[in-house]
Amino acid sequence: MPTLTINGMTVDVPQGTSILNAAKEVGVEIPHYCYHPKLSIAGNCRMCLVEVEKFPKLQTACSTVVTDGMVVRTDTDKVRKAVTGVLELMLIHHPIDCPICDQAGECGLQNYYMKFGLHKSRYALEDKIHKKKVQEIGGQIVLDAERCILCSRCVRFLEEVTGTRELHFFDRADHSEIAIFPGKPLSNNYTGNLADICPVGALTSKDFRFKCRVWFLKVFDSICTGCSKGCNVDAHHKGDILYRLKPRWNDAVNQAWMCDFGRLTYKAMNEARLLTPFVREEGARKVAAWGSLLPDVAFRLKAAADKGGPDRVAVIASPQSSNEELYLLRGLATSLLGTKNLAFTHRVAGDGFADDFLIQADKNPNSRGAVLLGIPGGAAFDALVSKIAGGGIDALLVFGDALGTLSEEETATLLAKVPFVAQVGTNEGPVSKAATAVLPSASVAERGGTFTNHAGRVQRFRFGFPPRGKARNPLEILLSLGNRLGAGWTFSGEASVFRALAESEAPFAGMSYDSIGMFGQEIKC
Amino acid sequence: MEKVLTTHFANERYRRLDTYRRYGGYEALKKAFAMTPEEIIDEVKKANLRGRGGAGFPAGVKWGFLPKDLSRPRVLVINADEGEPGTFKDRLIMSRGPHLLLEGIAISCFALRAHACWIYIRGEFAREAGIVDEAIAEAYAAGFLGKNILESGFDLDVTVHRGAGAYICGEETSLINSLEGKRGWPRLKPPFPASVGAFGLPTIVNNVETIADIPWIVTHGGETFAGLGVEKNGGTRLIGVSGAVNRPGVYELSAGVNLKEIIYHHAGGIRDGKALKAVIPGGSSTPVLRPDEIDVSYDIESMGKIGTMAGSGGVIVIPEGTCMVRSLSVLMNFYAHESCGQCTPCREGTGWLKKIVGRIEAGKGRQGDVELILDLCDNMMGRTICPLADAAVMPAQSFIWKFREEFDRHIGEQKCPYGNRF
Amino acid sequence: MSAVFSEAGRAEFERLLTRYPDRKAVILPALHLAQKEFGYVSDEAIVYIAGLVGTSPAEIEGVATFYTMYNRKPVGKYHVQICRNISCSLLGAEHLIEHVSEKLGVRPGETTPDGKFTLSTVECLGSCGTAPVMQVNDEYHENLTVESIDRILDPLP
């Protein structure tokens, strides 16, 4: 392990560590733009210049590997002047778009200018080189070539991560410009990452454009619900509106990336939400109160089981539910209602597209969890649907907004065969249009819990903000229903449910929220 | 004085294989095959052969950087990009003595245990590329290239690769990227080409003249070659003199010839009876000299001692009555045009330098512009991936240091005293 | 207008592939070939070469626009490229550029309306000993004077 002394502090680092990364270990921030831990080293922005003893010239910290006994300084006048000098040169053609640029507040140039610049421009305004602004280049990205600092992160990403190479440098010298070839826009499923890695406002999100100033946004940890990959995300919100999802670092799952489809899954949490409990009477919706609706649902389920036997009651689980919710739901179905009619489906309308990178064919976050907790899918679901279609079910509890790939009409026809259908769901859809009673559920942003991804990794998603409208945490709904059915549950939140789950379910044995931590934990096979 | 390269250059037919052989061509290759690679490299080291492209790195030392382990094939790349303003000697070698280059390549590749060589010729030299291609075809046909050369068991393939107009491709890692089909961006070093070069293979990049010297070194021995020059700079050099002299052209002279002698004796002195104003000694990127500084040996060490460089051997002679600001403006335009754009200080700095100097020449200079240029130079020098930024800085700094009053006058009088003309 | 190499061009392209261990190394020679066959490097040529080499058009465009010799727009029948660097300037290149500009009625960077001449100023052509120098298409013309330039350009068909 070579030893580095940096600004007087000593640190041992693994062989092959760059000065830049070694400095992080001791809290020394070396400014940089072109370096990105998941991309090749470019060394072209020249911001990370540092003094290295025995080298006559300043060296780039990103590309210089620590050798044993190396002595580095980043706090000298020479380094300071070099950094300010590079920054000045980067800014001479940069348009001062801050008032209209989405990047403001999370901009590399703004940040380092405040730290290392604070200089007045010495460059004549009429000499500024102008380049093409506001270009729709495909995918989720808007390109402003004038703002670009030519750090090459985007070109490297499209070369090394997606291999699609739609962006490149054109021309030479200070007329160099990043662009697509005319007529060949971005056409891969990961374009959104370009806005993340661009340090400035050259590549920005079309979806997020002009919607909110970033300093108004709060962030919490979540998991993308777009497929069973379970990409870790940062969810950004203001109040109870979500504005965007950005990938959160997890080398075991999604490294630093997420797909374009997943990025837009936040919209479903904002739009077309079920926000008020209601019942359907004579074809019309009638608002109900939680206080009366919950006992009513419990009663109707119990009554159906008592009258015709447990086989006349059914529960359809959702692979959008958390491990904790599925655990309680299974208990409710099999122990409290005593029924074997419990199933889920992972099928959703849409193409089931998958690739060899992040995108999984299963478009649900917790199918694996459902299976591990003993809730059958596939054929069992089909059998249950047949039973329902044959008029064999008197009371049905459905989690989720759709029944597999059944259309609105097919769902209405099917559910018409069931005298009482209670739904716990988040969004308007085929089920809410046909259910007898709708219990609006908190979205994944409005509650906490865990999902098990396709590879068996259990990951936590965190509570972001209280449920909108009158929606409730489905865990609370389940506890309430369960206890009315005699469960005697004393759980106080998802953590306590998980403790119970870990104790009784073999794949989760020994797990806790602590052991899951920030990066998740794999189940025992 | 003994000539290494140009003895037969006046003979237009020397570029043909039959004439080349008549004058002893490819005998050195035969001799080389009877030596070991180590022996050849040793002769090159004894020769004190400094790279003739401009950087002057000892060729024998560079050859020694190749890895000892032969598991990865090594390659030789010839730098025939000749883009440094004031330099025009490699064109001469390729058009008049292409077989000298090819024989040098064959011997060098044998010594380096390389079986592939690409000759990167700047795109504008279409005619020269054609001549070299013809010579290559002749050499293959006669068995001096290709498989089992001269029954030695040694195989070698040589290919001409044309550039397409970029001065930066004269920098060896930029050249390698250009050879690989990319934009001519220089690479970070380390790794150096000797460990990771063209197509990821251990690569030696050498200038045309450097390799063309090899046959003579093998024939006459490294020490003899060294003796033609001076202590740390052996052999002869092809020195190009251009600008306001009576006899511009390429002169093959000892590496230790006197610079004043080059200009006044060989190149016939300043034309039109004018006095000398300035000399850019080694290609446009080298610090300019005043007339009182040119009585100096042109070898690499001596030039370094007076704060400039022998560089690529291109002596540019500037006569009295020339506007130094306008001259600098021409050079700043050049570097701004040729910057590859990869790294910030060069990309933005060369453009800014061009604008400031252009403004001063146009009579619109501002107080503080000269200080701004010098400050900008400080922020560029030594801060970049390759030395193009330094190459722009050295003329800018040296012109200002040695001809400051001309810049002050342009700014003070808000006009060019020479009427904005050369 | 589509861009596809002629049979001879295609044969040359295939031959070039054998001279390098990596397919992408043919990009520069292929662009020279395209310029020869199509007169200039058109958008279609870029897409065509990208397909032949197996990469994106953006990457080929990035290479084509880096080097000055690849013309992304058509040039005149005769591309008159006059050096404006230091040695040529010291020996009167400015004057020659003005002369040709007036003679042809175009500024550097422009093409005559009949499409016969494009005038450009270029950087060092590597023949400083015979300055002033210009290149017309592939040919060098050295030791230029106003008279010698006229003698070179006037007879061009």
CB contact residues (below 8 A), chain B span 193-212, against chain C: 199
Q: Are residues B343 and B245 in the same domain?
A: no
**How far is residue A248's CA from residue A358's CA, in Å, rounded to a whole number?**
14
- For domain C78-153, the CATH class is alpha beta
pLDDT at residue A350, as a whole number: 77
- Same domain, yes or no, for A409 and A489? yes
Residue A124 pLDDT > 90: no
Q: Which domain holds residue B389?
A: 324-413
Contact with chain C for residue B242, Cβ under 8 A: yes
Q: Does B243 touch chain C (CB under 8 A)?
A: yes
Q: ∠ CA(A351), CA(A357), CA(A363), 5° rounding?
A: 35
Instruction: Indicate if A363 and A506 belong to the same structural domain.
Output: yes
Does residue A80 fall inside a structural domain? yes
What is the number of CB-based contacts under 8 A between chain B and chain C? 147
Give the pLDDT score at A352: 86
Last residue of a domain, one of B272, B291, B319: B319
**pLDDT tens column, A221-276:** 999 999 999 999 999 999 999 999 999 999 999 999 999 999 999 999 999 999 99
CATH code, domain with A78: 3.10.20.740
Residues A74 and A142 in one domain: no
Q: What percent of chain B has pLDDT over 90?
A: 100
In a shared domain, residues B196 and B247: no
Number of domains in chain A: 3
Q: Binning pLDDT at 50, 70 and 90, where does residue A126 land?
A: confident
Q: What's the pLDDT at A525?
A: 74
For residue A29, pLDDT over 80 is answered with yes
CA–CA distance, A296 with B223 (Å, rounded to integer): 106
User: Residue ranges per domain, chain C?
Assistant: 7-66, 78-153
The CATH number of whichever domain residue B246 belongs to comes to: 3.10.20.600
Using a CB–CB cutoff of 8 Å, tell me whether C27 touches chain B. yes
Identify the pLDDT of residue B1.
76
Please tell me which residue of chain A has the smallest CA distance to C57. Answer: A181
Neighbours of chain A (3+ CB pairs under 8 A): B, C
- Chain A positions touching B343 (Cβ under 8 A) are 43-46
| Mutation site for B-interface testing, chosen from C41, C61, C66 by largest number of B Cβ within 10 Å | C66
C1 Cβ under 8 Å from any chain B Cβ: no
Instruction: Say whether A297 sits in a helix, a strand or coil.
Output: helix
When pLDDT is cut at 50, 70 and 90, the band that residue B243 belongs to is very high
* Distance from the first to the final alpha carbon of chain B: 37
Domain limit, last residue, from B205, B227, B249:
B227
CB A381 within 8 A of CB A343: yes
Q: Check CB contact under 8 Å for B159 and C24.
A: no
Instruction: Characterize the bridge pairing of strands C117-122 and B276-280.
Output: unpaired
In a domain, A456, yes or no: yes
Contact residues, chain A to chain B, C-beta under 8 Å: 41, 43-47, 49, 56-58, 60, 63, 81-82, 85-86, 88-90, 92-93, 122-124, 127, 129, 149-150, 169, 171-176
Report helix angle C7-17 to C27-38, nearest 10: 170
What's the number of CA atoms in the CB half-sphere (13 Å) around residue A114? Answer: 7
| Superfamily of segment(s) C7-66 | NADH-quinone oxidoreductase subunit E (1.10.10.1590)
| Percent of chain C residues topping a pLDDT of 90 | 98
Measured between CA atoms, the residue of chain C closest to residue A164 is: C56
**Average pLDDT estimate for B252-269:** 97
What is the distance between the alpha carbons of residues C31 and C45, in angstroms, rounded to a whole number?
Answer: 8
Residue B36 above 80 pLDDT? yes
Question: Which residues of A fall within a CB distance of 8 Å from B341?
Answer: 150, 169, 171-176
Which chains touch B (3+ CB pairs under 8 A)?
A: A, C
What percent of chain B stands above pLDDT 70? 100
Q: Which of B339, B372, B383 is opposite residue A46, by nearest beta carbon?
A: B383
Percent of residues, chain A, with pLDDT higher than 90: 96
Instruction: Note whether residue B104 is domain-resident.
Output: yes
Q: What is the CATH number of the domain that holds B223?
A: 3.40.50.11540
Q: Does A240 fall in a domain?
A: no
Q: Best residue in A20, A79, A149, A174 to probe B by mutation, most B CBs within 10 Å?
A: A174
Residue A177 is part of a domain; what is its CATH number?
3.30.70.20
Read off the pLDDT of residues B149-171 as tens digits, 9 standing for 90 and up. Answer: 999 999 999 999 999 999 999 99
* Mean pLDDT over each residue of chain A, to the nearest integer: 96
Task: Give the residue among B399, B391, B342, B351 at the shortest CA–CA distance from B374.
Answer: B399
User: What is the mean predicted confidence (pLDDT) over B189-206?
Assistant: 97
**Residue B356 Cα, gap to closest chain A Cα (Å):** 10
**CB of C65 within 8 Å of any CB in chain A?**
yes
- Is there a contact between A89 and B384 if contact means CB atoms under 8 Å apart? no
Range of the domain at A177: 128-216
Q: What is the pLDDT of residues A161-217, one digit of tens each?
A: 999 999 999 999 999 999 999 999 999 999 999 999 999 999 999 999 999 999 999
Residue A363 domain flag: yes
pLDDT of A95 above 80 = yes
Could you tell me the two tokens for B388? 């193009």
Residues 68-87 on B with a CB inside 8 Å of C are: 82-87
Residue type, A223: I
Of the three residues A33, A68, A91, the one that is the final residue of a domain is: A91
Looking at the structure, do residues B303 and B222 belong to the same domain, yes or no?
A: no
**Measured between CB atoms, does C25 come within 8 Å of chain B?**
yes
Residue B420 within a domain: no
- Is residue B163 domain-shared with residue B211, that is, in the same domain? yes
d(CA B41, CA B24): 22
Last residue of a domain, one of B319, B342, B369: B319
The 3-class secondary structure across A428-477, one letter per residue, is CCCCCCCCCEEEEECCHHHCCEEEECCCCEEEEECCCCCCCCCCECHHHH
C61 touches chain A (CB under 8 A): yes
Task: Please state whether the peptide bond connecting residue C132 to the residue before it is cis, i.e. omega within 30 degrees of 0.
Answer: yes
Q: Do C129 and B331 count as a contact with CB atoms less than 8 A apart?
A: no
**Predicted pLDDT at B177:** 98
Last residue of a domain, one of A63, A91, A119: A91
The predicted model scores a pTM of: 0.96
pLDDT band at A125 (very low <50, low <70, confident <90, very high): confident
Structural domains in chain B (count):
3
**Residues B46, B137: one domain?**
yes
Listed residue (A139, A282, A291) closest to A205, CA to CA:
A139
User: In CATH, what number is assigned to the domain containing residue A488?
Assistant: 3.40.50.740
State mean pLDDT over A410-415: 97
pLDDT tens per residue, range B291-342: 999 999 999 999 999 999 999 999 999 999 999 999 999 999 999 999 999 9
Residue-wise pLDDT for A422-446, tens only, equals: 999 999 999 999 999 999 999 999 9
Q: C16, C18, C28: best mutation site toward chain B, by most B Cβ within 10 Å?
A: C28
- Sheet containing strand C134-136, edge to edge, reads C117-122, C78-83, C134-136, C139-141
Q: Which residue in chain A is spatially nearest to C66 when comparing CA positions?
A: A171
Number of cross-chain residue pairs from A and B with Cβ atoms under 8 Å apart: 86
Report the interhelical angle of C93-104 vs C146-153 (nearest 10°). 40
* Interface with chain B: mutation pick from A44, A121, A165, A177, highest number of B CBs within 10 Å: A44
Residue B422 domain-assigned (yes or no): no
* pLDDT over 90 (residue B288): yes
Optimal mutation site among C53, C56, C63, C71, interface A, most CBs of chain A within 10 A: C56
Is the domain of A319 the same as that of A414? yes
**Is C44 near chain A, with CB under 8 Å?**
no
Q: Which residue in the set C57, C62, C66 is minimally distant from A184, CB to CB?
A: C57
Residues of B in contact with C140 (CB under 8 A): 127
H or E stretch covering B75: strand B74-80
Residue C1: pLDDT over 70: no
CA-nearest residue to B420 within chain C is C94
Report how far residue A272's alpha carbon sits from residue A278's, in angstroms, rounded to the nearest whole number: 15
Contact of B327 with chain C, judged by CB distance below 8 Å, is answered with yes
**Could you read off the pLDDT of B342-366 as tens digits, one per residue?**
999 999 999 999 999 999 999 999 9
Residues 95-134 of C with CB under 8 A from B: 123-131
